Amino acid sequence: MIIRPIKVIEMHEDLKILMAGLQAEKAALLEKTASLHARRDELIAQIRPLEEEEREIIRQYQAIERPRLGELDDQIAALAMAMGGRRLSNPEAA
């Protein structure tokens, strides 16, 4: 079997043309949405400090609430069961 280099070269060139077309389409698509990506990045830059502050606040109140809050929840649940499973927020409801 004889391989014809000309065919391989032609096929390779066709693939290069196809790849170039796909890359151009990709670049055009990304260019079209670039301003949206930039705006998202701006928003993220504004949000990050707030998220860090939120995490710190959560750490602070959890340090105060734990472990007692869990113990209180367990005791309230046990009392609710002892009362026939009625909700303590509405003792008349069965």
What does pLDDT average to in each consecutive run of 10 residues of the chain (94 residues)? 62 89 96 98 97 97 94 92 73 55
The pLDDT score that the predictor gives to residue 84 is 87
The answer to whether 76 touches 88, Cβ cutoff 8 Å, is yes
The pLDDT score that the predictor gives to residue 35 is 98
Q: Report the SS3 class of residue 82.
A: helix
The pLDDT score that the predictor gives to residue 10 is 74
Domain ranges, ordered by start, for the chain: 5-82
Q: Report the SS3 class of residue 41.
A: helix
The pLDDT score that the predictor gives to residue 37 is 97
With a threshold of 0.85, does the pTM exceed it?
Answer: no
